[in-house]
Amino acid sequence: MKLGFIGTGVISDAVIRGLLSTDYSVSEIIVSTRGRMFSQKLTADFEIVRAEDDNQAIMDSADMVFLAIRPQDAQKVLTGLKAGPETQIVSLIATIPIETLQGWISGGASFDRAIPLPAVAHCNCVTAVYPGSDNVIALFDKLGGAVAADTIDAFDGYAAGSALMATYFEILENAAQWMVAQGSDYTDARRYLAALFSGLSDNTLKSPDQSFAELVDGHATPGGLNEQVAQTFIREKGGAALHTALDDVFARIKAASGDN
């Protein structure tokens, strides 16, 4: 398998480094010089990676091509490129529908969209894919797993869900600062909370048959401290605020995609 990347930034770098740490069968990786800092580092670190200035040459050389450019640059970069039906294209471009990409790139290639997050560099992240071609699912399975969305709305829902990352760290920062106000050292508070949430994440992954609601019950002794905090979160409409934020992000994705 030969892989190509048009646009070489943080996510392309993460996908490449993650894949090359696995047994995924790849004979060559061709990266564009769009994102020169990353392309130079990748070619220096891996003999199997080479850089290419010509995007059409990447299309012509690779079996699977990843599109990893900014949405505002996509039309200019991609219009006029050709990729035959033997080529699998995987778009990592937020909000741009497959139908739009097919209008820019001629030749009958197969198209999927995917939302890999930086943790794929450590093969520690599940990637949402639409519509979920077998070869694309197989690749992301090597990077921590994949989920195929049945509809574009489901896929956009995963995209909205991925917007929770900053909120996660906002919760931890607020908790750490509260602990500092009670006399903790910030470094110690950060270490404690990072380990606590890492352990919860690990337990969650090891309990795939339990719903999150069941895990709430399992971590909240009746009348205990965890139940008290959870009930305060509910009483203060934390869940409603979260749903409002996700609704707003979902609407923004739909508007940018032209689906509204």
- What is the H or E stretch that residue 91 is in? strand 88-91
pLDDT digits (tens, 9 = 90+) for 53-87: 999 999 999 999 999 999 999 999 999 999 999 99
DSSP state of 82: B
pLDDT one-digit tens code per residue, 241-254? 999 999 999 999 99
Cα–Cα distance, 139 to 127 (Å, whole number): 10
CB atoms within 10 A of CB 89: 27
Going by C-alpha positions, the residue among 79, 81, 65, 78 that lies closest to residue 114 is 65
Say how far apart CA 199 and CA 219 lie, in whole Å: 13
Report which of 47, 49, 57, 51 is spatially closest to residue 15, judged by C-alpha positions: 49
* 119-167 pLDDT per residue, tens: 999 999 999 999 999 999 999 999 999 999 999 999 999 999 999 999 9
Cα distances from 190 to residues 118, 184, 195, in angstroms, run: 21, 10, 9
pLDDT beyond 80 at 170 = yes
Kindly report whether the global pTM for this prediction surpasses the value 0.85: yes
Q: Which domains does the chain have, with CATH numbers?
A: 2-149 (3.40.50.720), 165-257 (1.10.3730.10)
Query: Other CB atoms closer than 10 Å to residue 202's CB: what's the count?
Result: 10
Say how far apart CA 252 and CA 10 lie, in whole Å. Answer: 23
The dihedral formed by the CA atoms of 77, 83, 88 and 91, expressed in degrees to the nearest 10: 20
